[in-house]
Chain A
Amino acid sequence: MSLGPAEVAKIAHLARLAIREKDAPAYARNLSAILDLVAQMNAVDTTGVAPMAHPLDMAQRLRADEVAEPNQRKHFQAIAPRVEAGLYLVPKVIE
């Protein structure tokens, strides 16, 4: 499968990545190669093989329902670009 420049631009936008136009053909090539690999794997007969959700064959460990995190707002907000009244300020989002 081969991706074109429009698809590369769309994927970059969905991932909120800025890419230079001159790099687009290289991305298209590399991403297409990944998809080719997927296609190759897709061709393998996996009848009777359970789909894998994680490379480790283990189960999720469960945590007790206890409040264990103290308030560290001051700490976290020290590295935020802008804060006010305890809120993180971000460019306006319109609903």
Chain B
Amino acid sequence: MEWETVIGLEIHAQLATQSKIFSGASTAYGAEPNTQACAIDLGLPGVLPVLNREAARMAVMFGLAIGADVAHRSVFARKNYFYPDLPKGYQISQYELPVVQKGQLTIDLEDGTSKVIGITRAHLEEDAGKSLHEDFHGLSGIDLNRAGTPLLEIVSEPDLRSAKEAVAYMKKLHQMVVYLGICDGNMQEGSFRCDANISVRRKGDPKFGTRAEIKNLNSFRFVERAIEFEIERQIDLIESGGKVVQETRLYDPDQGETRSMRGKEEANDYRYFPDPDLLPLVLDDEFIAAARASLPELPDGKKQRFVEQYGLSSYDAGVLTASRELGDYYEATVAALGSEPKLCANWVMGDLAAFLNKDNRDIGQSPVSAVQLAGLLRRIQDQTISGKIAKEVFEALWAGEGDADAIIEKRGLKQITDTSAIEKVIDDVIAANPEQLAQYRAGKDKLFGFFVGQVMKLSKGKANPQQVNELLAEKLKG
């Protein structure tokens, strides 16, 4: 039996505002519990929410970036349910008229093809607080600092057909909100989290199967594993004569499985209605035009430009535009060097990326600036040093030993390009290895590499490799 998986994702992105969506309390992460929860966030009687302009602007930016319809008029609604981390007894959200409607995102798949994923809607809402279930004498502890943090809930169409597609979509969306500067994308701190709706159906069946929703997936890896587990669970269940029930499940990363959320057995009955505390959000053309004017170059456009402007492969351009900062760093390197964009790409994606990775740093924390890197590449370009020596210089740059020129000077790494000096080294090597010389001349060609190695070793890697090759070939002929 061939099965088809149908997945839709709901992604919650915390918007990177200074203050909350309906109050002037700070949204900074990591504060002492409840020190950033004001009367409005606590839902005390008599308070009124007032919408944060910046949250609205960020939602509009997102809508424009995904080619969606930005609603000139949208409405806030109350989603009613009781839970201690939601002190009002309802969450302010948007229901019938969300601010962003009908957009799309193109994802790149591993086989090199791409696929357009529909985005049904994105709406503004407030985040809830946090419940801590450690033992407080049999009670739960509630921290409401997060309550009222602005969220953009982004709902996809059920267009995703595998765990890999779901992850590709989630990564693309993550890249987008971080590029736009509307979300810090920090998944560990919960700034970007995902609920996945998953169902399976027999291939060719026009009807969707019954779906299960997996809540609160906060890493790309968990999303992939949870979906894969869930697909298999549903198929096994149906093939053994059972039925999938519509329910909410939680992913347990330790066991690698999803489990039914028992205890929440009541069907949700949210009784949405327009929030009488809030007037409709009306956005005029001027507001939307200003948001459009503030859009940065978007990932796909930047990638395409890198291919055209710098002659990079699509793969390289994709890596270098993974984040805005990396793209900026690359372009600053090319600008400082003034040529050889491919050489710059190789170094940014190669040695620099490896060192960043090793020290677990972002490009913004690189101890080697783009100008410094360009300074090093210039010395490869003008043959002052070889590519191999450049690696040593880069290490010294990373360690903060000054600019490339100073390091080359101080360590005496300047490449030897003087023919007579190289010849002298070659003569010494040949004289020291009569046996190998005889073998080489008897036809053992692969000993050429041995001689090159010896010359490079004796010159401490400083002899110009191209000259060594030429001169050595000449000398070995005898």
Residues of A within 8 A of B (CB): 14, 16, 53-56, 58-69, 71-73, 76-77, 82, 84-95
Is A87 touching B133 in the complex (CB atoms < 8 A)? Answer: no
Q: Does B50 contact A (CB under 8 A)?
A: yes
Nearest CB on B from A51, distance (A): 8
Given contact pairs A89-B139, A90-B84, A95 touches B261 in the complex (Cβ within 8 A): yes
A68: chain B residues within 8 A (beta carbon): 19, 24
Residue from B51, B133, B250, B280 with most neighbouring chain A CB atoms (10 Å): B280
Q: Does B35 contact A (CB under 8 A)?
A: yes
Closest to A10 in B: B269
Nearest CB on B from A65, distance (A): 4
Is B50 touching A86 in the complex (CB atoms < 8 A)? Answer: no
Is A54 touching B280 in the complex (CB atoms < 8 A)? Answer: yes
Residue from A59, A67, A76 with most neighbouring chain B CB atoms (10 Å): A67
A56, A62, A86, A95: the one contacting B143 at CB < 8 Å is A86
Q: Does B105 contact A (CB under 8 A)?
A: no
Is B282 touching A73 in the complex (CB atoms < 8 A)? Answer: no
Residues of B269-283 contacting chain A, CB below 8 A: 269, 271, 274, 276, 278-282
Range of interface residues on chain B? 35 or more
Is A93 touching B84 in the complex (CB atoms < 8 A)? Answer: yes
Is A54 touching B141 in the complex (CB atoms < 8 A)? Answer: no
B36, B139, B141, B280: the one contacting A53 at CB < 8 Å is B280
Total number of residue pairs linking A and B with CB closer than 8 Å = 132
Given contact pairs A53-B274, A66-B24, A69-B24, A84 touches B279 in the complex (Cβ within 8 A): no
Is B50 touching A84 in the complex (CB atoms < 8 A)? Answer: no
Nearest CB on B from A49, distance (A): 15
Beyond A60-B281, A89-B141, list 5 extra A-B contacts (CB 8 Å): A60-B76, A61-B51, A66-B24, A89-B139, A91-B140
User: Helix, strand, loop or mixed for chain A's interface?
Assistant: loop
Stretch of B26-34, B180-188, B194-202, B349-357 contacting A (4+ beta carbons < 8 Å): B26-34
Q: Does B46 contact A (CB under 8 A)?
A: no
Is B136 touching A71 in the complex (CB atoms < 8 A)? Answer: no
* Interchain CA distance A63-B133 in the complex, whole Å: 35
* Interchain CA distance A35-B19 in the complex, whole Å: 41
Closest to B35 in A: A71
Q: Does B132 contact A (CB under 8 A)?
A: yes
8 tightest Cβ-Cβ pairs between the two chains A and B: A68-B24, A87-B141, A65-B54, A59-B282, A86-B33, A62-B53, A69-B38, A60-B279
A54, A62, A67, A94: the one contacting B24 at CB < 8 Å is A67
Binary interface profile of B, 133-162, with partner A (CB < 8 Å = 1, else 0)? 100111111111000000000000000000
B36: chain A residues within 8 A (beta carbon): 69, 71
Given contact pairs A59-B282, A95-B250, A65 touches B55 in the complex (Cβ within 8 A): yes
B18, B33, B39, B144: the one contacting A65 at CB < 8 Å is B18
Closest to B39 in A: A76
Nearest CB on B from A74, distance (A): 10
Is A90 touching B139 in the complex (CB atoms < 8 A)? Answer: yes
* Interchain CA distance A67-B25 in the complex, whole Å: 5
A14: chain B residues within 8 A (beta carbon): 80, 269, 271
A56, A65, A72: the one contacting B53 at CB < 8 Å is A65
A89: chain B residues within 8 A (beta carbon): 136-137, 139-142
Is B19 touching A66 in the complex (CB atoms < 8 A)? Answer: yes
Given contact pairs A65-B55, A67-B26, A76 touches B34 in the complex (Cβ within 8 A): yes
Is A67 touching B271 in the complex (CB atoms < 8 A)? Answer: no
A56: chain B residues within 8 A (beta carbon): 279
Q: Does B426 contact A (CB under 8 A)?
A: no
Is A92 touching B143 in the complex (CB atoms < 8 A)? Answer: no
* Interchain CA distance A93-B54 in the complex, whole Å: 34
Residues of B412-462 contacting chain A, CB below 8 A: none
